[in-house]
Copies of this chain bind each other. A is one copy, B any other.
Amino acid sequence: METHTMAAGQGHPYFPQDALIPGYAPNSTPLPVILGAFGGIIGAFVLSCVTLAKWYSPALKRADQLTISWFALCGFLHLFFEGYFVLNHTTIPSSQSLFAQLWKEYALSDSRYLTSDPFMLCIETLTVLTWAPLSLLTALLTARNRAHEQGTRHLLQAIVCVGHLYGVALYYGTCGFAEHMAGLSYSRPEALYYWGYYVGMNAPWAVVPCLLLWRSAGAVRMAFGAVARGEEGKKGR
């Protein structure tokens, strides 16, 4: 990070260059090390969840295993990574903990994470309190794979997907409007940060929820369809 142009006077590499980030200290650990550690922790958590699920429900389909991976990933990120931001947003700029260094790196693409931006704090607090537990609960119900819980499972899956889609739309949208209205960019201009971090790292929450919502919608329509045919059958007798 030390290679970036520092804004005159503010002593940080973030955009907008006049953003106030008191106490900022550049990361002390090389990027590959913090990314490797983060990837390792996430990978271990997601793999453990899927392994546990397959042990508990050996008949689990491939698609359900992928669904569990997704919601375990979401639950982990919401609860621990975003939870860390909500609890420590004032000290992240000066901290050298693993999660603080990750946030400082990501913030090159969105400085709102280092300026205690009220919108980010608000949406992240709601994410930690709502989407974190609901994501983990959806993973759990998918893993249990019980016939009488399929309604709750698909309803929860649809709810969390709507939350993710609305959330990511607002996340991109608030930046888009800030840029459009006030010419304000929270991301450094380099492609790595804008396209790689800001667009790329959030894009999965615009794509995967669409697929999962589609699947749950299909399951719900099928269940109601079966009920409707059952009732028609009774009338026909």
Q: Is A166 in the interface zone, CB < 8 Å from B?
A: yes
B228:A226 contact, CB within 8 angstroms: no
Residues of B within 8 A of A159 (CB): 158, 162
Please give the residue numbers on chain A whose beta carbons come within 8 Å of chain B beta carbons, in ascending order: 116, 118-119, 121-123, 125-126, 147-148, 150-152, 154-155, 158-159, 162-163, 166-167, 169-170, 173-174, 176-178, 181-182, 216-217, 220-228, 230-232
Known: A116-B181, A148-B224. 11 other contacts (CB 8 A): A118-B174, A121-B177, A121-B181, A126-B169, A147-B228, A148-B225, A152-B217, A154-B220, A158-B159, A163-B166, A230-B230
B173:A125 contact, CB within 8 angstroms: yes
Residues of B within 8 A of A155 (CB): 158, 216-217, 220-221
Residues of B within 8 A of A147 (CB): 228, 231-232
Query: Looking at chain A's contact residues, is the secondary structure mostly helix, strand, loop, or mixed?
Result: helix
Residues of B within 8 A of A176 (CB): 122
Interface centre among A163, A181, A230 (most CB of B within 10 A): A181
Residues of B within 8 A of A119 (CB): 119, 174, 177
Nearest CB in chain B to that of A180: its residue = B118
Show 21 A/B contacts (Cβ-Cβ < 8 Å), sorted by A.
A118-B178, A118-B182, A119-B119, A122-B173, A122-B174, A122-B177, A123-B173, A125-B173, A147-B232, A148-B228, A151-B221, A151-B222, A151-B223, A152-B221, A154-B220, A158-B159, A162-B162, A163-B166, A223-B224, A226-B227, A226-B230
